[in-house]
C-alpha cells in the first residue's frame, strides 16, 4: 500500500519538525498532492487516521489536501501544457519529447500546531 508509506514519511517529517520546535500537538496538516501522483484520496485519509492514532503528537490531527495541477513541458517547442488533457504528446508540435514539470509530488504545505 503506497499511501501508507507516504503517510508514514510525512508524519516522520512532522515529528522531526515538532522536536526541533518544541511542538506538543499538531492539529492540522495541509498537504499538496499532485494531480497525477498515484496517491488515492480515500486511502490517504484512512492511512492518515490510522497513523495519527499511533502518535501522541498527531492524535486527532486533521488532514487537508490541496491538489496541485499537473503541468508538462515540451523539450522541442518549449511550451507547457496540461498533463491530464494531453498526456505525453505536446499539443502544439506533437512532439513526444516532453517531461512532467509538476503534479507528481506529495508535500507538506502547512502545519498548525501548539
Interacting residues with Zn ion (CB under 5 A): 74, 76-77, 90, 92-93, 95
Residue 50 vs 92, nearer CB to Zn ion: 92
Q: How far is the CB of 95 from Zn ion (least distance, A)?
A: 4
Q: How far is the CB of 84 from Zn ion (least distance, A)?
A: 17
Instruction: Estimate to the nearest angstrom the gap between the alpha carbon of 79 and the chain centroid.
Output: 25
Residue 46 vs 95, nearer CB to Zn ion: 95
Residue 12 vs 88, nearer CB to Zn ion: 88
Q: How far is the CB of 1 from Zn ion (least distance, A)?
A: 37
- Nearest by Cα to 68 from 95, 44, 101, 43: 101
Residue 91 vs 105, nearer CB to Zn ion: 91
Q: How far is the CB of 71 from Zn ion (least distance, A)?
A: 13
HSE of 113, CA atoms in CB hemisphere, 13 A: 20
Residue 27 and residue 95 in contact, taking contact as beta carbons nearer than 8 Å: no
Distances (CA, A) of 3 to 21, 42, 55, 60: 27, 10, 17, 19
Amino acid at each position: 500500500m503506497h499511501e501508507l508509506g507516504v503517510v508514514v514519511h510525512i508524519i516522520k517529517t512532522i515529528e522531526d519538525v515538532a522536536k526541533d520546535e518544541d511542538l506538543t500537538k499538531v492539529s492540522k496538516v495541509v498537504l499538496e498532492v499532485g494531480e497525477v501522483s498515484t496517491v488515492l484520496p480515500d486511502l490517504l485519509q484512512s492511512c492518515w487516521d490510522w497513523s495519527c492514532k499511533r502518535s501522541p503528537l498527531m492524535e486527532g490531527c486533521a488532514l487537508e489536501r490541496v491538489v496541485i495541477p499537473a503541468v508538462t513541458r515540451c523539450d522541442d517547442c518549449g511550451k507547457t501544457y496540461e498533463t491530464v488533457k494531453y498526456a505525453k504528446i505536446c499539443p502544439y508540435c506533437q512532439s513526444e519529447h516532453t517531461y512532467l514539470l509538476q503534479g507528481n509530488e506529495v508535500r507538506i504545505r502547512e502545519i498548525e500546531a501548539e
